[in-house]
Structure 1
Amino acid sequence: MRPSFRFAKHALALVCAAALSAPAHARMVELEDSELSDITGQAFINLTTDTAGQINYTRVNFGLKVDTQLNIKKLELGSYARAGETRPSDILINNFALGTVGANDSINPFQIVDPYLELAYEGNQVVGVRIGFGQAKGVLSGDISHLTGKIAVDLEGKAKPLLDEANFFQRLLLGATVNENSTIRSEAELVSNGTPDSVRASQAGLKNGSVVQCVANCNLLGGLLTAFPSQGCQIIGIATCFNLSQFQSLNIGNVSAPGMDQAAKGVFISLQVKDLQWRDMDTSALINTVAGAFLNIPKYRDANGNLVAGIKFDFDQALNGIPRQDTCLGSAISGC
């Protein structure tokens, strides 16, 4: 079976409903040429086009800033049989939420700037649709079963959780390189037993050959830490791959920065009937996506031009998981 485009219909319906829900109180008034010359502005909605190979694209850009807090009981996309896969869908997140609820039912919204809806055409046939965000920042929560897509994660923090996880022999090996106050870093992505896996993956972690680097407060032989690459989801026996289900709330962008400073760029979710390339709105590079549903939370360039991941957490969170933040008004934490 091929994925359907019900996702596109629902997305378009939501966008149109938001645009049309406000009542209009206006009438047409003729303006003189002299009056028109004094008026400048930009359309709330504009269209842009693009081409990649034999595929043409039309993007509807919405000049909006959106603050939202929403809950969805079950977010499931790409529900069809896929060769070689036992899981029934491409993306499955139960109790999905954007934004959180604080003390006294105060709302901490998920922030979006410049959302857009894009269609991909081959000839006169629609072969793909995506909803994307120019910028996005906030907390994404859910009971994540599996994902299809490209998810970039920066791992950075103190070495203490890694040392706490180690046995005597492992600590002996690591002791020459790091101590509890050393800062270490690495990069994670969707994997299956250490092999990059972009289709219906249930784990994130270090791909085979990836290393952990000591970047601050290193011991005398700190540089030797890279001599222990991850292989088969382990570094000298310490786990480097983790079930997605244990990450119940994830920060998209730097949520502690004010306003939309350090917001993530390039976030989108798409559905396509064949493997497609979509234009990255930050770097202008083409992103390869597989047929079906696809979630993209990539690396993007920050204000200093450095490539950073849309998701970042430390090694304590990697090893022990991230508890869910409250996303419901009232007594429930999730499932509202």
Structure 2
Amino acid sequence: MKILLTGHLGYIGTVLAPRLLARGHDVTGLDSDLFAECSFAGPVAHIPSIGGDVREFVAEEDSIERLRGFDAVIHLAGLSNDPLGDYRPGLTQEINARASFELARLAKAAGVPRFVFASSCSNYGASGDQFISEAGTLNPVTPYGLSKVEAEVGISALADASFSPTFLRASTAYGLSPRLRFDLVVNNLTAWACTTGDVHLKSDGSPWRPIVHVEDIALAYIATVEAPRTEVHCEVFNVGQTSENYQIREIAEIVRDVVPGSKIAFADGASPDLRNYRVDCNYIALRLHAFKPQWTCRRGVEQLFTAFTESGLTVEAFEGPRFKRIAHLKQRIDEGSLNEHLYPVRQLAAA
């Protein structure tokens, strides 16, 4: 298949792109590469690109022509965590919702038959302790979750006999990637334990969260895009395993058990997180037989522990502006390489 992969230079995209290539697909990217200086583990696959910021791409007059000939769009690009959403809620809506809808609309106009959207289990927000399925009530409590719900609603309305969207609501990601994120709970707790000896909890540890390894997320996208249209048309899938729902303190206990000599510690003023949800992932297992997740939390923590130890990771590195997404963007704005709207500032050549 000829596939457009937006966000191909991000946390998930740098894991997914080489796997799509290995499956024999013809992959083209679209990514503003905001985090080019945040590389951690392994090389980034080099693939052709048709643009940078998705907002600029959808505003260009020839965007429909540039989309013609693709068999599918996998749309990962967006602002991808709650601190970023809280920092600039308007930008989160503009990028994650409005630009995503426009990209889907243009793809449909260009005759692209398949569109796979990176949604999130954050859509469930504050859903309590009972398992929730894809049919459950959406209750987002952050700008990020709200933007994903808005995008789902808009894109699903485009579905018809010629245009088939699918929505993958991923559990909270973790695991190694060439563009590693340390703001994800498993990655963050393991990094704290490896560098300080403390499994540093910033909440009271009571909220539930489903988690899924980034490599398993990649497998879900591959299974979706390769599935017959009848299996995925306008479907919503929770991505993960039902057995991989944990209270945050349970994740902390796994980290403590894996990292020698570490202990659980709570931040000053640690309190419950508003986001609390347990996700039923049985539907994707029943529907997409090619999706066979490989990872558990313990195995993922072991992978991270080995990588962090071998790399000599320090707390200053993972808590600083290189690997902390919001700190990195603020630093780029302060130094003048990005403006307040997260567009690159193109420096004028010296006369």
Please state which band the TM-score falls in when normalised by the shorter chain: under 0.3
TM-score normalised by L of structure 1: 0.25
Q: Going by fraction, where is helix more abundant, 1 or 2?
A: 2
- Normalised to the residue count of structure 2, the TM-score between the two structures is 0.24
